[in-house]
């Protein structure tokens, strides 16, 4: 299925998104003047266990940013999350700040199969010259510790949806469930196959809001059990 070409537009960090914040860069090609997707380490490998989707959280989440936020932790030493995540409860609507709104339309210049990968996930908005951009701006980018203030699951579309129409960075319009009990992983119980998004709201210990980072994935049934596939890392630009 086709997937994801950015529309040039800035993104704010307030309000809810039509699950769609779009950032100014093309999926492939284009000049190196546009910043690439932000890097972060938040989620482990998402898996299906019987009728549930299990989302592990890493110890000591980190996020790259060009913002001046307190003392940067360049070496990425863990400080732990502000709120460890556990079993999900049902919830409609939003929770937490840092969401973004933008254009939801997308072209069809890439698919999961052909998109650049990082740690086994396709990277939304990645370009061939991203490393060049990061090298040119090395002095501006810092790695920060980040607490995971909230984690939620939202449904994006059915399995037959055109992948190119799936939204850009941000939190879902509507969460099917939020995880808010202590623990090292989030566990959700979706009922139908389709495209889903797990989104985590990242906050620095100083209170600075890094917004949302997300993983999109297909949830299919195989021999009566759920199967997770085609994961996309969906992040705002650095």
Query: Could you read off the pLDDT of 164-220 as tens digits, one per residue?
Result: 788 999 999 999 999 865 458 899 998 899 999 999 999 999 999 999 999 999 999
Query: 15: how many CB neighbours lie within 10 A of its CB?
Result: 11
Residue 92 confidence (pLDDT) above 50: no
- pLDDT band per the 50, 70, 90 thresholds, residue 73: low
Question: Which of 91-95, 103-107, 141-145 is predicted least confidently?
Answer: 103-107
174 or 30: which leads in pLDDT: 174
Q: Once rounded to an integer, what is the mean pLDDT over residues 101-114?
A: 47
What is the distance between the alpha carbons of residues 107 and 26, in angstroms, rounded to a whole number? 10
87 or 232: which leads in pLDDT: 232
Residue 122 confidence (pLDDT) above 50: yes
């Amino acid at each position: 299925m086709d997937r994801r070409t950015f529309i040039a537009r800035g993104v704010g960090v307030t309000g809810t998104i039509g699950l769609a914040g779009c950032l100014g860069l093309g999926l492939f090609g284009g000049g190196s003047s546009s910043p690439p997707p932000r890097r972060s380490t938040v989620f482990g490998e998402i898996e299906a266990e019987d009728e549930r989707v299990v989302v592990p959280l890493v110890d000591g989440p980190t996020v790259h940013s060009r913002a001046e936020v307190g003392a940067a932790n360049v070496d990425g030493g863990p400080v732990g999350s502000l709120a460890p995540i556990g079993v999900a409860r049902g919830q409609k609507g939003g929770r937490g700040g840092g969401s973004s709104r933008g254009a939801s339309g997308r072209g069809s210049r890439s698919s999961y199969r052909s998109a650049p990968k990082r740690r086994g996930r396709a990277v939304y908005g990645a370009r061939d010259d991203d490393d060049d951009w990061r090298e040119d701006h090395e002095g501006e980018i810092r790695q920060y510790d980040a607490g995971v203030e909230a984690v939620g699951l939202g449904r994006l579309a059915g399995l037959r949806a055109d992948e190119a129409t799936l939204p850009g960075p941000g939190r879902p319009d509507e969460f099917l469930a939020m995880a808010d009990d202590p623990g090292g992983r989030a566990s959700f119980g979706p009922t139908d196959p389709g495209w889903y998004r797990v989104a985590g709201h990242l906050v620095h210990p100083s209170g600075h809001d890094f917004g949302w980072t997300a993983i999109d994935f297909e949830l299919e049934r195989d021999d009566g059990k759920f199967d997770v596939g085609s994961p996309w890392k969906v992040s705002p630009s650095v």
